[in-house]
Amino acid sequence: MLVILGSGSGGFSGQPAAGVTVTVTPAGGSAVSQTTDASGRANFSSSPSGTYDVSAAPPSTLPAAALTIRDLNVATTGRDIVLVLAHRLPSDQTPPRTISGPFTGTITGRLLREDGSPQAGPDNCSSPSASCHIPGNVGIVTYTGLFDDITDDSGNFTINRTGMSNDRPAVTGSLFGGNWDGVGGLGSGVLGATHLYFTRYAYNPAVNLVGGALAYGDFQMATVTGSLPTVLDSEGQSFLAPFNAGTTVGFSLTDLFLYHAIHSLDLWLSEVFHDSGVTSVTTPIPQISLAQSVYWYGLGLAGALDPTTFTAFGMTTTYLTTGATALNVSYLPRPGTPTVGAGNPPAISWAASSGATVYEVDVFDAGGNLVYYAATSSSLSVTLPAALPTGSYAVWVFANDSFTSADYIGRERLRPALRAWGGLLRPTALRFRVARQDRSQLARSIAPLRQALRAGGALHRPLLDRTPFSNNDDRWSWSDGTAFTR
């Protein structure tokens, strides 16, 4: 076994973890334990065969989370199994690599309508109002899907591509311009709208930017004529139904992205809302031609929407099948709320999620630090490998139908990164405020969530190694949290 430190809250370490107690338990056999040496290795005289469990318990002097991986069935003879422990970097240290001498690249230009007139952006969108959301009233230009600017009264834009390091002072990326935003389906859907979109657009797939300034010139838009239905399937509808109670309703939000291989980032182009009464929504989509290196995918979140707050309990990434006429959105049933036994080390159990192929169990202390995580494919319980110090804790269970516990070998946690970001994301769920009473403010209300979903945001984690042309999806769901003490 090779045990290394992962990222945690301090940036990736990759350093060997010494003094970690590694325990291997073959199915039906006896547990065998070894302690890692200075190189992070624990050597076992024979490799277990068949299915087995492995756990790693770091010493109290090492700021890392304990780990359990159950239901492993991999060939181990003659090679290391690499375990990656989430690492909390000490406060007096810095991540091992920083960018020195960063450059800033700037793109300037003017966004034009079809008739050559400037696409002005309103001067009052910093304070949400109805005039900010009239279709065609907001001009926005985006570079690489990450850096953007709202046009001024004359259609001018300035995009600052910051953070260009001295080891990569040039970049090639797409440039997109559009008139955010159209609002569709007024009078239907739980929010009074079913989708948000652009009605005009301009697109250049490859713009070269070197550290310095690029005067792009005029960027002229065309009318959006493409469209794409987004369908919430029966499993998605079943996922939403339990949240319908009183003033709370089940709600699904799907952001539609265009992935372009030139810059390996994603361009946000539309947003679709479903509730239990809305199964299919057709939204205008810019008619950007698709190819092997250019494809559509959706990133959906589903959960409970009350009059002011959306709390997500499911997340799905789904790709558009080649030749398909609609993008299908589905959600994995939630695992049961975990139960924590009275002992120490505590045993944690939960009810199954139908269709799940792996469960991840995360335990946090009162400070929000991850102290333990586990992965299991078929077992519905885990026991921590070491006793917890006296204190308050909370545990959540995440389910997925794309991975198995073997995928955690050599990798850190795979679940969605629901971490603190702008006070919106929490380990329990994702929450953001909406203005259901004022439909004109809908787009601005969900803007923080949209930023989290975009490239560089807290929830952005496209699986670029997945084949996007088989309509395979990656579904996560998670339980309510359980608080406990020891």
Q: Is the pLDDT reported for residue 310 higher than 80? A: no
Q: Which tens digit of pLDDT belongs to each residue from 381-394? A: 999 999 999 999 99
Whole-number Å distance between alpha carbons of 215 and 108: 5
pLDDT value, residue 134: 57
Q: What is the mean pLDDT of the chain?
A: 76
Q: How confident is the model at residue 191 (pLDDT cuts 50, 70, 90)?
A: low
pLDDT value, residue 172: 75
- In total, the chain counts a number of residues equal to 486
Is 159 within a domain?
yes
Q: Please name every residue paired with 254 in a beta bridge, in sequence order, or none if there are none.
A: 272, 300
Q: Where are the beta strands (DSSP E) in 113-194?
A: 138-143, 147-150, 156-164, 170-184
- 297 with 320, same domain? yes
- 120 with 225, same domain? yes
Domain stop point among 284, 303, 329: 329
Pairing mode of beta strands 66-72, 52-57: antiparallel
Whole-number Å distance between alpha carbons of 1 and 20: 11
pLDDT value, residue 124: 45
Structure tokens given for 146 = 């990450």
- 323 with 383, same domain? no
pLDDT value, residue 357: 92
Whole-number Å distance between alpha carbons of 261 and 61: 44
Whole-number Å distance between alpha carbons of 22 and 41: 9
Is 87 within a domain?
yes
pLDDT value, residue 446: 45
Is 420 within a domain?
no
Q: Is the pLDDT reported for residue 232 higher than 80? A: yes
Ramachandran region, residue 351 (left: φ > 0; alpha: ψ -120 to 50; beta: rest):
beta
pLDDT value, residue 307: 72
The Cα-based distances of 441 to 117, 181, 270, 421, 437 in angstroms read 27, 12, 17, 22, 9
Is 478 within a domain?
no
- 139 with 239, same domain? yes
CB 55 within 8 A of CB 72: no
Domain stop point among 329, 363, 387: 329
Q: Is the pLDDT reported for residue 459 higher than 60? A: no
Domain stop point among 300, 329, 358: 329
Identify the residue whose tokens are 């109002």: 129
Ramachandran region, residue 410 (left: φ > 0; alpha: ψ -120 to 50; beta: rest):
left
Q: Is the pLDDT reported for residue 461 higher than 50? A: no
Is 356 within a domain?
yes
- 144 with 59, same domain? no
Pairing mode of beta strands 381-383, 347-349: antiparallel
Whole-number Å distance between alpha carbons of 257 and 267: 5
Is 12 within a domain?
yes
Is 481 within a domain?
no
3-state secondary structure of 291: strand
- 266 with 393, same domain? no
Residue from 134, 133, 153, 151 nearest 142 by CA = 151
- Report the run of H or E that residue 70 belongs to, with start and end: strand 66-72
- 266 with 191, same domain? yes
> Can you spell out the DSSP letters for 388-429?
PPSSEEEEEEEEESS--GGGGTT----S-----STT-B-SS-
Q: Which tens digit of pLDDT belongs to each residue from 84-103? A: 888 765 544 444 444 444 55
Q: Which tens digit of pLDDT belongs to each residue from 253-279? A: 888 888 776 655 677 788 888 887 788
Domain around 401: 2-93+333-415
Q: What is the CATH number of the domain that holds 403?
A: 2.60.40.10
Q: Which tens digit of pLDDT belongs to each residue from 406-443? A: 888 877 767 765 533 232 223 333 334 333 333 344 44
Identify the residue whose tokens are 């009052």: 124
Question: Which has more pLDDT, 299 or 45?
Answer: 299
- 10 with 140, same domain? no
Is 210 within a domain?
yes
- 123 with 87, same domain? no
- What average pLDDT does this structure show over 444-465? 43
- 64 with 156, same domain? no
What torsion, rounded to 10 degrees, do the Cα atoms 466, 470, 471, 475 define?
-40
If you ran DSSP here, which 8-state letter would residue 64 be given?
B
pLDDT value, residue 122: 59
Pairing mode of beta strands 226-232, 195-210: unpaired
- 322 with 352, same domain? no
- 21 with 83, same domain? yes
CB 32 within 8 A of CB 22: no
pLDDT value, residue 272: 86
Lowest mean pLDDT among 25-29, 187-191, 442-446: 442-446
Total number of domains constituting the chain = 2
In angstroms and rounded to an integer, the radius of gyration of the C-alpha atoms of the chain is 24
> What percent of the chain lies above the pLDDT cut of 90?
26
Q: Is the pLDDT reported for residue 479 higher than 50? A: yes
